[in-house]
C-alpha cells in the first residue's frame, strides 16, 4: 500500500489481530495492544534471541492487556521466556507493563536513564484531585472554563493507574550504544521532543529501525509542555532530533514505530515531520498579531477547533509552540487578570 500524497509505502495493509503477531522480518514479530483513548492502540515487538525473547515496549497495565500478553506468550511467542524488555520512552503505553515483566517473569529492563527516572517519579506521584500547581498551569493556558471546572473536581490521569509497580534496577541505554537484539547489531540514537531521551534503534545488519514514537507515519507525535516544566521548549528539541536522525535515514529502511503501520520512505517522512512544525509555527506567528491565549491557538496550529478527549493534548502542544516562539524572541508574553498568559508577535 502506498500513501499517494507522501510517497510512503506500507508493506502491510492491516495490523495483527488481538493476541496474534505478524512476522515483519526474520525473528521479528509485530503485535498490537489496545488503548482506551482516541489513538486506540500501541505497537509492540518481540525479537528472537535464540533461547529467549526481547520485547520492545509493553502497553498499558490493565487486566485486558495482561490477558492479551498471556495469549501472546502462549501463542506466537511459543512459551519461550521473555528475558529482556527494552522501553523506548517513559510514556505509559510503552512502559506500563515493564515492571510486570520484571516481577512476574524475571525479565531485565533496558531503557534510558531519563525514561526510568521519569516513570518512577510519575508512578509515585498519585493524586485524587489535581494539585494547585496543575490548576494554576491550566489557568495560565487559558483552558476552557467548563473543562477546567470538570478537571478540577475529578481524579486526574495518574501513572499509577496504568503502570505496573517498577522494582529497582535497570540497565541504562545511551546515545551511541551498540546493542545486540534478535541476532542483529543496533545503533542507538536518541530522539527528543515527544519524550526526553527517547531511544531509537537502527540495525547495522539489515533495513530495520525500531523508532518508538519518535518517527511515525501519517500522524505527528504529540509535543507538549506540562506543569512539571512549564518553560520547556520541546519543539526545539523535536526539530533538532528530526534533523539529526534524518542523516541516518534510507529509503529502504522498514520503520517499526509505536503506532500506525510499519512503513518505508523514512527520508521523506523526516522532511515532512520537520516541515509540519515549521508550517505550524509560521501560521501561529501570523495569528499572533493580536494577543491570544494558548487555548485560542488551536485553529492556526491544527487547522481546526478541538474539543473532547483531544483537548488536553492540543492545549499542551499549543503551549509548546508558543514557548518556542517566546524563547527565540518572536513573541511576547503578558499575564491577564485571571492568570492566563497572553501571547503576541513582537514585530
Whether the predicted pLDDT of 214 surpasses 80: yes
Q: What mean pLDDT do residues 203-217 have? A: 98
> Are 245 and 200 spatial neighbours (Cβ–Cβ below 8 Å)?
yes
Residue 300 lies in a domain: no
C-alpha torsion angle, residues 15, 166, 86, 51 (rounded to 10):
-90
Question: Is residue 176 domain-resident?
Answer: yes
Establish if 311 belongs to a structural domain.
no
Statement: residue 4 has pLDDT above 60: no
Characterize 299-324 residue by residue with b for buried, 16 or more Cβ atoms within 10 angstroms of its Cβ, and e for exposed: ebbeeeebeeebbbbbbbbbbbbbbb
Please state the domain count of the chain.
Answer: 1
Quick one: cell of 59? 502497553
Domain range for residue 168? 2-287
* pLDDT tens-digit map of 216-275: 999 999 999 999 999 999 999 999 999 999 999 999 999 999 999 999 999 999 999 999
43-56 in b/e burial notation, b at 16+ Cβ within 10 A? bbbbbbbeeebbbb
228 within domain boundaries: yes
Three-point CA angle 145, 149, 150, nearest 5°: 120
pLDDT score of 5 more than 60: no
- Please report which residue ranges of 34-97 form alpha helices under DSSP H: 63-74, 92-95
Q: Which of 252, 223, 198 is nearest to 314 (CA)?
A: 223
Task: Return the higher-pLDDT residue of 306 and 202.
Answer: 202
Over residues 293-318, the mean pLDDT reads: 93
- The answer to whether residue 318 is domain-embedded is no
Judged against a pLDDT cut of 80, whether residue 3 lies above it is answered with no
Flag whether 147 is in a domain.
yes
Per-residue pLDDT band for 2 (boundaries 50, 70, 90) equals low
In a domain, 308, yes or no: no
Residue 38 has what pLDDT? 87
Helices and strands in the chain, H and E counts: 11, 16
Domain assignment present for 137: yes
Q: What is the CATH number of the domain that holds 172?
A: 3.60.15.10
68-92 tens-digit pLDDT: 999 999 999 999 999 999 999 999 9
Query: How confident is the model over 36-59, as pLDDT tens digits?
Result: 988 999 999 999 999 999 999 999
pLDDT digits (tens, 9 = 90+) for 192-203: 999 999 999 999
Whether 6 shows a pLDDT value over 60: the answer reads: no
Amino acid at each position: 500500500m502506498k500513501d499517494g500524497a507522501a510517497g510512503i509505502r506500507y508493506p502491510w495493509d492491516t495490523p495483527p489481530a488481538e493476541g496474534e503477531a505478524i512476522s515483519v522480518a526474520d525473528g521479528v514479530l509485530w503485535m498490537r495492544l489496545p488503548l482506551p483513548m482516541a489513538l486506540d492502540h500501541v505497537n509492540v515487538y518481540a525479537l528472537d534471541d535464540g533461547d529467549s525473547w526481547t520485547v520492545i515496549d509493553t502497553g498499558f497495565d490493565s487486566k485486558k492487556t495482561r490477558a492479551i500478553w498471556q495469549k501472546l506468550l502462549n501463542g506466537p511467542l511459543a512459551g519461550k521466556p521473555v528475558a529482556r524488555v527494552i522501553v523506548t520512552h517513559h510514556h505509559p503505553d510503552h512502559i506500563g507493563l515493564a515492571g510486570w515483566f520484571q516481577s512476574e517473569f524475571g525479565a531485565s529492563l533496558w531503557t534510558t536513564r531519563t525514561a526510568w527516572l521519569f516513570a518512577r517519579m510519575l508512578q509515585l506521584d498519585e493524586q485524587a484531585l489535581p494539585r494547585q500547581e496543575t490548576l494554576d498551569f491550566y489557568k495560565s493556558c487559558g483552558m476552557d472554563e467548563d473543562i477546567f471546572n470538570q478537571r478540577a473536581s475529578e481524579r486526574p490521569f495518574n501513572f499509577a493507574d496504568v503502570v505496573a509497580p517498577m522494582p529497582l534496577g535497570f540497565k541504562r541505554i545511551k546515545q551511541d550504544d551498540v546493542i545486540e537484539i534478535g541476532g542483529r547489531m543496533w545503533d542507538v540514537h536518541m530522539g527528543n521532543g515527544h519524550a526526553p531521551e527517547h531511544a531509537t534503534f537502527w540495525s547495522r545488519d539489515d533495513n530495520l529501525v525500531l523508532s518508538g514514537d519518535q518517527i511515525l507515519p501519517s500522524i505527528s507525535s504529540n509535543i507538549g509542555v506540562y506543569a512539571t516544566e512549564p518553560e520547556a521548549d520541546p519543539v526545539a528539541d523535536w526539530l533538532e532530533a528530526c534533523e539529526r536522525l534524518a542523516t541516518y535515514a534510507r529509503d529502504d529502511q522498514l520503520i517499526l514505530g509505536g503506532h500506525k503501520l510499519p512503513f518505508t520512505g523514512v527520508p521523506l517522512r523526516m522532511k515532512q515531520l520537520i516541515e509540519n512544525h515549521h508550517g505550524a509555527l509560521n501560521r501561529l506567528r501570523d495569528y499572533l498579531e493580536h494577543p491570544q491565549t494558548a487555548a485560542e491557538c488551536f485553529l492556526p496550529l491544527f487547522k481546526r477547533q478541538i474539543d473532547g478527549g483531544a483537548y488536553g493534548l492540543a492545549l499542551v502542544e499549543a503551549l509548546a509552540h508558543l514557548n518556542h516562539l517566546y524563547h527565540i524572541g518572536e513573541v511576547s508574553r503578558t499575564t491577564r487578570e485571571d492568570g492566563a498568559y497572553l501571547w503576541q508577535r513582537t514585530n
